[in-house]
């Protein structure tokens, strides 16, 4: 009888522990998302970075950035993610690259010049929320190019092609 | 007696239950409809047949609501399109008390909504209506083609079947070894007629009179591109509002690629719409001159130099960009029209023989005075909806 009570107590402790770990992970860790970002074109090491890889890289914050929309009201917001420069460096982008073409999962693509990429990030978070949770149709990752119009802020970002 | 008593009591209970049920049903009906009285408005269709709008019909347009001052409203144009109207000059509203109001659609269209209590809100004025009539522009009587005619016609020229869901007409054209689709973003038919008179487009004018064409609603690049490539209207291809960037419906490019033809698309800095089945090439402003048309031309000429594809798609954006920023007719916009005309001339000059050329716009542009822009499009007005369509053999 005593043995059975101990087992029951142990079960409750294990269950509570599991819930606590899951809760903590949900509060602070990146969500599990099946998404890859490919870096190709004029690079030495073509890359495929999973969402989890991006979440583990150094994160950079962009605060109070103006999003200049072609439709609707402009927005000011804060974003955080991985610096595009860091991604390009990891892929060994050509030192003389002039632009990148950012491609989205729905087929949208845009060429963004090197100048326009200054300070750009591959954003995982908008404000304090993961984009994949805050704006599922705009995620899970989005290129954010400060001080360029929002048509360069490619959502559902899937590939970055480096152009020489 | 007991038996009789026993049989009467359930009758009484039944009656009470029925009363409760009736009261409940009445309360339910009141809750559902009591605060939202039924309404019905008749819209005269282009053929004179009435199209009835009521609460249920309005709720069916839930996907098209737009936020206006914190309210979710249905644009009135959605009803006019559903009623069969292609382009509007004036809207006449008739109230329950026979009050008539007339609205010039060019000025009213941007702020015209259907409220869920059945009233209209136009230009900030809210009023009840029982009947609507539309007066189209005279140019509608001269309309000869639709942007949905391009895909089936180009397919025929190349000896291909039309895209699966195409509803556009197949125009009479000769067979051709190559087809060029030359896309002049934002260059509507009304602006074309003005540009001819102003002497801005000698190269285009030399091609002869274009067909008077109509684009589909809404007249925005993504929806019109889908209509162009599928040969079908937005309710078929699904790109029926701004922001939808792809279609699942078969396109001309799909048909050509499936037949083993080479399809190449030269775009500006961005792909405004998913051009699957084509080798797409972007043309960013790499020389930093503030526009991409020169880059588009350079890339298109490079493609021709390497060998004309079976199906070639070239998209110039400059007229649209200048129209938005400076407004139709502004000196900067006129300069851009001249430049694009010269670029069209250069491109046509470089084409190989046996090429059928379609030159067209996706939509036009009308004057606005909004924050940051002096031109816009997206409404059922002549300047937005009429587009020129040239079909020329080289």
Q: Which residues contact A64 (CB under 8 A, 6 or more apart)?
A: A76, A77, A78
Q: Where exactly does CATH 3.40.720.10 map onto chain B?
A: 140-393
B266 beta partners:
B281, B314
User: In sequence order, what DSSP letters do the residues of B179-218 get, joined into one string?
Assistant: EEEEEETT--HHHHHHHHHHT--HHHHTT-PPEEEE-PSS
pLDDT at A67: 83
CA B96 from centre of chain? 32
Selecting from A104, A107, A109 the residue whose C-beta is nearest the C-beta of B282 gives A109
Distances (CA, A) of B1 to B7, B13, B25: 10, 19, 36
One pLDDT digit (tens) per residue for chain B, 394 residues:
333 343 344 454 555 455 566 556 655 555 555 556 789 999 999 998 999 999 999 999 999 999 888 899 999 999 999 999 999 999 999 999 999 999 999 999 999 999 999 999 999 999 999 999 999 999 999 999 999 999 999 999 999 999 999 999 999 999 999 999 999 999 999 999 999 999 999 999 999 999 999 999 999 999 999 999 999 999 999 999 988 889 999 999 999 999 999 999 999 999 979 999 999 999 999 888 889 999 999 999 999 999 999 999 999 999 999 999 999 999 999 999 999 999 999 999 999 999 999 999 999 999 998 777 899 999 999 999 999 999 999 8
CB pair distance less than 8 Å for B280 and A109: yes
**C-alpha to C-alpha distance for B202 and A46, rounded to whole angstroms:** 48
**Which pTM does this prediction carry?**
0.84
The gap from C-alpha A16 to its chain's centroid, in whole angstroms, comes to 31
The token pair that represents B298 in the structure block? 């350079």
Q: Are B318 and B293 in contact (CB under 8 A)?
A: yes
Q: Tell me which chain B residues have a C-beta less than 8 angstroms from the C-beta of A113.
A: 284-286, 288
Q: How far is B304 from chain A (nearest CA, A)?
A: 21
Minimal CA separation from B242 to chain A, in Å: 9
Looking at residue A151, what DSSP letter applies?
A: G
Evaluate whether B191 touches B390 at the Cβ level (below 8 Å).
no
At A139, is the pLDDT very low, low, confident or very high (cuts 50, 70, 90)? confident
Length of chain B: 394
Return the residue of A nearest to B284 by Cα: A111
Note the pLDDT of residue B14: 54
**Yes or no, beta carbons of A113 and B286 under 8 Å apart:** yes
How high is the ipTM of this complex?
Answer: 0.74
Residue B116 CB neighbour total at 10 angstroms: 15
* CA nearest neighbour of A99 among B370, B45, B314, B287: B287
Provide the pLDDT for residue B20: 64
Q: Where are the beta strands (DSSP E) in chain A?
A: 36-41, 47-50, 60-67, 75-83, 99-104, 109-113, 121-126, 129-130, 142-144, 157-163
How far the first Cα of chain B sits from its last, in Å, is 105
For testing contact with chain A, the best of B185, B265, B270 (most A CBs within 10 A) = B270
The overall average pLDDT reported for chain A is: 85
pLDDT score at B12: 46
For residues A27-48, give the mean pLDDT: 90
A105 contacts chain B (CB < 8 A): no
Interface-testing mutation among B245, B290, B377, with chain A (most A C-beta atoms within 10 A): B245
Sign for the CA dihedral angle at B264, B270, B271, B277 comes to: positive
Classify domain B140-393 at the CATH class level.
alpha beta
> Across chain A, which distance is largest between two alpha carbons, in Å?
76
Which of A98, A101, A107 is facing B282, going by the closest CB pair?
A101
pLDDT for residue B24 = 63
Q: Rounded CA gap, B64 and B38, in Å?
A: 22
CA dist A110 and B274 (Å) reads: 12
DSSP states of B260-275: T--EEEE-SSEESS--
> Measured between CB atoms, which of A71, A104, A111 is closest to B269?
A111
Determine whether the interchain pair B276/A107 forms a contact, defined as Cβ–Cβ distance below 8 Å: yes
For A140, counting Cβ atoms within 10 Å of its Cβ (0-12 exposed, 13-18 middle, 19+ buried), the class is buried
Q: Let me know how long chain A is.
A: 164
Distance from CA of A5 to the nearest CA of B (A): 53
Largest CA distance in chain B: 109
In chain A, positions 10-69, which contact chain B (CB-CB < 8 Å)? none
User: Residue B315 gets which letter from DSSP?
Assistant: E
Would you say residue A142 has pLDDT above 80?
Answer: yes
Cα of B288 to nearest chain A Cα, Å: 9
In terms of CA atoms, which chain A residue is nearest residue B371? A73
Question: Which whole number is the average pLDDT over A5-15?
Answer: 62
CB contact under 8 Å between B274 and A107, yes or no, is yes
Closest by CA position to B163, among listed B242, B268, B263:
B263
Q: Does the beta-carbon distance from B270 to A151 stay under 8 Å?
A: yes
**Looking at the partner chain, which of B243, B245, B269 has a beta carbon nearest the beta carbon of A107?**
B245
Chain B interface, mutation test: which of A96, A107, A158, A164, most B Cβ atoms within 10 Å? Answer: A107
- Cβ proximity of B160 and B259 under 8 Å: yes
Query: What is the chain B residue with the closest CA to A154?
Result: B270
Measured in whole angstroms, the distance separating CA B292 from the mean position of its chain's CA atoms is 24
Whole-angstrom CA distances from B390 to B107, B182, B209 are: 30, 10, 7
pLDDT digits 0-9 by tens, A75-133 = 888 999 999 999 999 999 999 999 999 999 988 899 999 999 999 999 999 999 999 99
- Token output for A108: 């949208």
């Amino acid at each position: 009888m005593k043995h059975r009570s101990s087992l029951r107590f142990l079960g409750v402790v294990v269950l509570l522990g599991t819930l606590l770990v899951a809760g903590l992970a949900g509060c602070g860790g990146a969500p599990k998302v099946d998404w890859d970002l490919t870096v190709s074109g004029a690079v030495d090491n073509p890359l495929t970075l999973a969402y989890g890889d991006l979440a583990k890289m150094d994160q950079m914050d962009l605060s109070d950035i103006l999003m200049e929309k072609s439709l609707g009201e402009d927005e000011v917001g804060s974003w955080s993610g991985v610096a595009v420069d860091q991604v390009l460096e990891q892929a060994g982008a050509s030192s003389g690259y002039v632009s990148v073409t950012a491609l989205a999962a729905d087929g949208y693509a845009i060429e963004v010049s090197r100048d326009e990429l200054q300070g750009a990030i591959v954003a995982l978070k908008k404000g304090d929320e993961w984009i994949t949770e805050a704006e599922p149709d705009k995620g899970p990752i989005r290129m954010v190019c400060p001080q360029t119009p929002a048509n360069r802020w490619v959502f559902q970002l899937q590939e970055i092609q480096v152009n020489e | 007696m007991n038996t009789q008593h026993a049989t009467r009591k359930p009758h009484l209970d039944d009656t009470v239950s029925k009363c409760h049920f009736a009261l409940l049903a009445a309360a339910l009906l009141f809750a559902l409809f009591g605060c939202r009285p039924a309404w019905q408005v008749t819209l005269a269709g282009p053929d004179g047949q009435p199209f009835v709008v009521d609460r249920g019909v309005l709720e069916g347009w839930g996907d098209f609501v737009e936020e206006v001052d914190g309210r979710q409203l249905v644009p009135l144009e959605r009803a006019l399109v559903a009623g069969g109207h292609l382009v509007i000059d004036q809207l006449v509203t008739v109230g329950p008390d026979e009050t008539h109001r007339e609205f010039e659609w060019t000025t009213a269209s941007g702020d015209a909504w259907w409220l869920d209590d059945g009233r209209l809100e136009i230009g900030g004025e809210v009023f009840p209506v029982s009947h609507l009539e539309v007066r189209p522009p005279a140019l509608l009587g001269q309309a000869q083609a639709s942007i949905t005619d391009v895909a089936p016609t180009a397919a025929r020229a190349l000896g291909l079947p039309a895209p699966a869901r195409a509803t556009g007409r197949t125009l009479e054209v000769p067979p051709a070894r190559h087809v060029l689709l030359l896309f002049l973003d934002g260059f509507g038919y009304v602006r074309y007629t003005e540009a001819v008179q102003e002497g801005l487009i000698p190269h285009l004018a030399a091609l002869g009179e274009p067909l008077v064409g109509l684009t589909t609603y809404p007249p925005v690049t993504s929806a019109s591109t889908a209509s162009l490539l599928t040969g079908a209207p937005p309710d078929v291809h699904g790109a029926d509002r701004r922001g939808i960037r792809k279609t699942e419906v078969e396109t001309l490019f799909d048909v050509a690629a499936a037949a083993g033809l080479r399809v190449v698309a030269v775009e500006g800095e961005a792909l405004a719409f998913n051009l699957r089945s084509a080798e797409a090439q972007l043309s960013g402003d790499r020389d930093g001159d503030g526009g991409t048309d020169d880059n588009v031309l350079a890339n298109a000429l490079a493609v021709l130099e390497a060998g004309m594809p079976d199906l070639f798609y070239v998209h110039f954006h400059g007229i649209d960009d200048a129209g938005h920023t400076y407004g139709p007719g502004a000196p900067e916009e006129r300069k851009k029209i001249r430049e694009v005309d010269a670029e069209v001339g250069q491109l046509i000059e470089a084409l190989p023989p046996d090429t059928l050329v379609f030159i067209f716009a996706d939509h036009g542009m009308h004057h606005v005075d909004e924050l940051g822009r002096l031109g816009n499009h997206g409404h059922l007005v002549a300047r937005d909806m009429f587009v020129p369509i040239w079909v020329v053999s080289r």
